[in-house]
Amino acid sequence: MSTQSNSASRGSGLCLLSLDSGGARGVSQLAILAQVMHRLKHDSPDDNPDRPRSVFDMISGVGSGGFIAILLVIFGLSAQEALDEFTDLCANVFDKRGVDAETRTVALKQHIDKLLEKHGVDQSTRMLDPVDSSMKCKLAIPISYKRHAGSICILRNFSVRREKTPNLTVAEALLVTLATPPLFTPTQISKDSAAFEYMGADWTLSNPTEEIITEAYEAFGAEERVACVMSLGCGHPGVFVAPNVSDIAAWNEFLENLVTSSERKAQAIDSRMGHLGLYHRFSIF
């Protein structure tokens, strides 16, 4: 089985794709990615780069970005196909009104089951199972633990030396990426006679760009050169203004927006890497 990276096949540096969390706003990321892929295909007709996993050496995402990353790498969908599937997810799960987290989580599980069946992915397929068609593109998805929400755990489709990678099923991984309260409930998964509760890492990490660079170092080695880091956001949140009132709901919304905003990290990364000409940040306004 070949594990040669896409960049090795091209004779160029590594290309990395980072996807922020953003819930239903992830639609905008896929719209941007579809446009990027269209231009790549137009400019390089001989290479025929029709799917992101044939262009990028590693794709990483948090929350909804992690869900999208699995669609792109494990399912091997094109950006447009992933956009269609994610739009369907939004309509059938995210946009449900007047339901609690438990009900929405049940709807998500049912949606994932249908998604797996539609694309011929077996329920027992695990993230670390060798799949020839996806091995050239590495996948790294930060998630968190319910009982230690400040810590990060990485789901991968490859192994690393420094730590044991949780080998969740693809169905479990899809569920965990979105299992962030209060919209969804944490996901309980049994492993080695013990039960672990995982949740999306949205509250801890909304922009995984730095993490994907670290993961690329682990996966490909220090000798590999990075040629491109593309970071896709879910929209600029604007200026945060602290509420003038003591309304708890207003302050909760303010703090949530402050915690989950990924733009501050994007600006910090741009200040460090922008001059190198390899970091590209795209997000709607």
Residue 8 belongs to a domain: no
Residue 4 belongs to a domain: no
Q: How many structural domains are present in the chain?
A: 1
d(CA 61, CA 254): 24
Residue 2 belongs to a domain: no
284: pLDDT confidence band, cut at 50, 70 and 90?
A: confident
Region 72-82 average pLDDT: 96
- pLDDT value at residue 3: 47
Whether the per-residue pLDDT at 212 is higher than 70: the answer is yes
Torsion sign, CA atoms 240, 246, 248, 250 = negative
Whether the per-residue pLDDT at 70 is higher than 70: the answer is yes
Which domain CATH number covers 40?
3.40.1090.10
Residue 21 belongs to a domain: yes
Helix ranges (DSSP H) in the chain:
6-10, 26-43, 52-55, 64-73, 79-89, 101-118, 170-178, 209-220, 248-260, 263-273
Residue 166 belongs to a domain: yes
Taking the whole predicted model, whether its pTM rises above 0.75 is answered as: yes
Residue 23 belongs to a domain: yes
Q: What is the pLDDT of residues 138-196, one digit of tens each?
A: 999 999 988 776 788 999 999 988 888 889 999 999 999 999 888 999 998 877 667 88
Residue 110 belongs to a domain: yes
Residue 92's domain comprises: 14-283
Residue 171 belongs to a domain: yes
